[in-house]
Amino acid sequence: MDRENRIQMAVFDWAGTTVDYGSSAPSAVFERIFEKAGIHFTREEINRPMGMEKKAHIRELLSAESGRRQWEEQYGRTWTEEDVERLYEDFEAELFQVVAEYSVPIPGVPETVKRLREQGLKIGSTTGYTSQMMEQVIPKAAELGYEADCVVTPDVTGIGRPTPFMLFECMRRLQVYPPRAVVKVGDTVVDMQEGRNAGAWSIGILTGSNLLGLTQKEYGDLSPEELKTRKEEARKRYLEVGADLVIDSISELPAAIEELNRRMEKEGDRK
């Protein structure tokens, strides 16, 4: 099988995919800064735009019906870009204080990445965090067993997900081409859209994901029936936005990549 018909690189998200089970750090900080501003969002509302660049995430929350209504009730006016900037500054300051604490790899990540490297894959990463935040996250995750070959942040490309430019930058840095030789692996809607918009493959992960929206304790406390229902809902959402495959946990990724390789080989045979 030629290299163009094999996956050459996996590009991972961070929080909720490789570290920080359930994407707890950004969710908790978003909740905190909006509560301080007199605005209450449910965890589901906060998680919906997760994976976007963080200012864009704030705009999404304020643009939603609940956000617009609460802001006008609290301040007697519509929100402005100055409000977004102020909220973002609060978000960045608070997250910067705690982000390293939430950099523990999700179970199965170090072992899975090791297997992928042994199979010859390069490991890229894109994130909604800034370069400054990642200066804290990367060393802590590496110390605990997970490291990517390159990490691209929205401040590097000037725009974040769901655009494909961070993924393209990973391809440029690691010299991987064409896009079909790349798989984006993530835990949010915008991760799947990023992969699709780049012309790459997209794989959604359920366990530990932002889309499932559960902490490790909540996951363990759910009945098997409720957990199955929640996972099926998340699976459907991934597929609706263009995921090529959905896997239960990151440990299933090497087998999923082999499935993509088989698909590409069949497509190549038909040409």
Q: Is 28 helix (H, G, I), strand (E, B) or coil?
A: helix
- Distance, in Å, from the CA atom of 50 to the CA atom of 261, rounded to the nearest integer, reads 29
- Tell me which residue of 17, 21, 14, 18 sits closest to 215, measured CA to CA: 21
Catalytic residue among 13, 187, 191, 244: 13
Whether the Cβ atoms of residue 210 and residue 188 lie closer than 8 Å to each other: yes
Is 244 considered catalytic here? no
Is 83 considered catalytic here? no
Whether the Cβ atoms of residue 91 and residue 55 lie closer than 8 Å to each other: no
Which ranges of the chain would DSSP assign to H, the alpha helix? Answer: 24-36, 43-47, 54-63, 65-75, 81-98, 109-118, 131-143, 154-157, 165-174, 189-198, 216-221, 224-240, 253-270
Catalytic residue among 54, 55, 122, 184: 54
What are the two backbone dihedrals, phi and then psi, of residue 175, each rounded to the nearest 5 degrees? 55, 55
Instruction: Tell me the catalytic residues.
Output: 13, 54
